[in-house]
Structure 1
Amino acid sequence: MVLDEKVITNGEPDNEEEEEEEEEEEEDLDPLETMREKCAEIEHCVHTQARLEQCETRVNARSSTTEDCTEELFDFLHARDHCVAHKLFHSVK
């Protein structure tokens, strides 16, 4: 009879299990997030993001205002997601 040698580590996983978990996390990159990052760099998205940042700066500079940057945020998200929609499904398996 052969007994396997195991080390008890007070409930902590050994290094091999930790390395396997890290590798699985790296492999499971969300293609949506990757595409969003790439699309945020195109000219139209950069322009709408700059408008959003200008609005945020303007609103934060004022102590009392009813203005918010909802329109600018939606414009940026729409531009980015429009780009993503055309590219994402080509990479889905």
Structure 2
Amino acid sequence: MVIEDKMLTNGEPEEEEEEEEEEEMVDPLETIRQKCEAAEHCVHTRERLEACENRVGSRSSTEEDCTEELFDFLHARDHCVAHKLFHSVK
């Protein structure tokens, strides 16, 4: 009988709390980074980075890494972001 009582009380519909829909916060930095990655200079440095990654990934044994290409890409992207980010911050 104890189980039946629990089933009866647990079987009753409980009042559901209405959850307010919150808008998902969008980081302006990420948005601007995506736009800057589409810029001509950033596209060129990304292509160099991807070519290096493909070259290094295709070899079984190499001392080459793509650090220089990565830093070039990040520098180009961040240079573009620096000029645009603070105009969108409230």
**d(CA) in 1 for partners of 2:58 and 2:89?**
43
Picking from 31, 36, 40, the partner of 1:34 is 31
Q: Distance in 1 between matches of 2:88 and 2:26?
A: 12
Structure 2: runs of 5+ lacking an equivalent: 1-13
- Number of the residue aligned with 1:58: 55
What do the CA deviations read for 1:37-59 (whole angstroms, capped 9, x no partner)?
Answer: 00000000000000000000000
After superposition, the C-alpha distances for 1:40-81 in whole angstroms (9 at most, x for unaligned) are 000000000000000000000100001100100000000000
1:1-93 map, 5 Å: 7=15, 14=17, 16-17=18-19, 20=21, 23-25=22-24, 28-93=25-90
Report the aligned-residue RMSD: 1.5
| Structure label with greater radius of gyration | 2
Q: Which runs of 4+ in 1 moved over 4 A?
A: none
Aligned residues: 77
User: In the alignment, residue 82 of structure 2 is paired with which amino acid?
Assistant: A
Identity of aligned residues (%): 77
Q: How far apart are residue 24 of structure 1 and its match?
A: 2.5
Task: Normalising by structure 2, report the TM-score.
Answer: 0.80
TM-score norm. by structure 1 comes to 0.77
